[in-house]
Amino acid sequence: MCGGQCVDLTTSPSNCGACGTQCESGLCVSGQCVGKYGGHLVVLGLDFGSAAVGDPTSRLLAHAVLLSHRHDVRVLELGAFTSNTAKAQAHAIVSGGALDQGRKASFVDAGTPVTIATAFANGSADVFLVDALEDMSIGDAISTGGSLGPGLAGFLGGGGVVVIWTTPKAATATKSFLATTSLLDVSSIPSETGPVVVSDWLDALSANEPSPFLPTGAALGFVVSTPPEPTMSFVIKAADGEPVVVHRVYPPI
């Protein structure tokens, strides 16, 4: 039973293997999505180190990671530049969201750019999670982003999910990382105050979100240098209209 309806979890593309698991390809065989999938980039100007599991702020991170089409999600995490407390809270948020969907999430330390590129190439990761780059220098952000850019393009084109969250302390490094990976061209990442609103109710990230709501901890906006493409959604916006959560869909290659 899913949503009060009897469904076949082995063939339902909207409930493939578990309630709520949607197959972007529209094909579910033996409880597994098959066919080619689009990738997802989600960039969040929210501090999940202080967010409580299940609150409106934390749900956005869980929804982002769980965009993966896999039932049990393998997360490759670049978390060496944030605090252990913040990283542990991000784990709790994602794991709690997965549990609510009858799924699991496992986390593996990303290591060096070489090991990250290897994971992209051999298909051992479903999601690349970049925690707040608070202790990363600008030089390291530029060099790391430049090294990962080509591999990230292939990872996203192969149906991978890239999730990046940032804080005020990490904003400058995040801006450089986004630019050198060619993921998102932003001119600045300013701090925002007050409540935020859902601006795209059709996006999967906004499911069950209230609007407006006051984010837990700091919020940042992304001043995007170019107009949004049809495949890009500004899911959550600040009071001044700047996007706080950006979701971009990549076609399969």
What does the pLDDT read at residue 27? Answer: 58
In the chain, alpha helices (H): 56-65, 84-100, 113-122, 138-157, 171-181
Which residues partner with 89 through β-bridges? Answer: none
Residues 4 and 94 in one domain: no
Instruction: Give the N- to C-terminal CA distance of the chain in Å, as an integer.
Output: 35
Q: List phi, psi (to 5°) of 167.
A: -130, 170
Nearest residue to 41 via CA among 124, 194, 152:
152
Residues 176 and 128 in one domain: yes
| Alpha carbon 139 to its chain's center | 24
Residues 95 and 70 in one domain: yes
Report long-range pairs for 142-145 (Cβ below 8 Å, ≥24 apart). Answer: 142/176, 142/177, 142/180, 143/180, 144/113, 144/177, 144/180, 145/176, 145/177, 145/178, 145/179, 145/180, 145/181
Find the domain containing 60 and state its range. Answer: 36-250
Nearest residue to 156 via CA among 187, 117, 127, 199:
127
Residues 31 and 111 in one domain: no
What does the pLDDT read at residue 62? Answer: 97
Residues 7 and 86 in one domain: no
Residues 93 and 217 in one domain: yes
State whether residue 28 is helix, strand or coil. strand
Residues 20 and 102 in one domain: no
What does the pLDDT read at residue 30? Answer: 82
Using the 8-state DSSP alphabet, how is residue 2 labeled?
B
Residues 113 and 234 in one domain: yes
Residues 61 and 168 in one domain: yes
What does the pLDDT read at residue 34? Answer: 64
Cβ within 8 Å of residue 128, ≥6 positions away: 75, 76, 78, 110, 116, 120, 152, 155, 160, 161, 162, 163
Q: List phi, psi (to 5°) of 231.
A: -90, 5
- Domains contained in the chain, number: 2
CATH code for the domain in which residue 163 is found: 3.40.50
Using the 8-state DSSP alphabet, how is residue 5 labeled?
B
Residues 61 and 1 in one domain: no
Contact at 8 Å (CB) between 217 and 211? no
What does the pLDDT read at residue 252? Answer: 78
Residues 146 and 233 in one domain: yes
Residues 102 and 222 in one domain: yes
Render each residue's pLDDT in the chain as its tens digit; 253 residues.
787 778 889 877 678 888 888 765 555 778 877 656 679 999 999 999 999 999 999 999 999 999 998 999 999 999 999 999 999 999 999 999 999 999 999 999 999 999 999 999 999 999 999 999 999 999 999 999 999 999 999 999 999 999 999 999 999 999 999 999 999 999 999 999 999 999 999 899 999 999 999 999 999 999 998 788 888 999 999 999 999 999 998 887 7
Tokens of 2: 């899913």
Distance CA 126, CA 70 (A): 7
Distance CA 13, CA 29 (A): 9
Using the 8-state DSSP alphabet, how is residue 36 labeled?
-
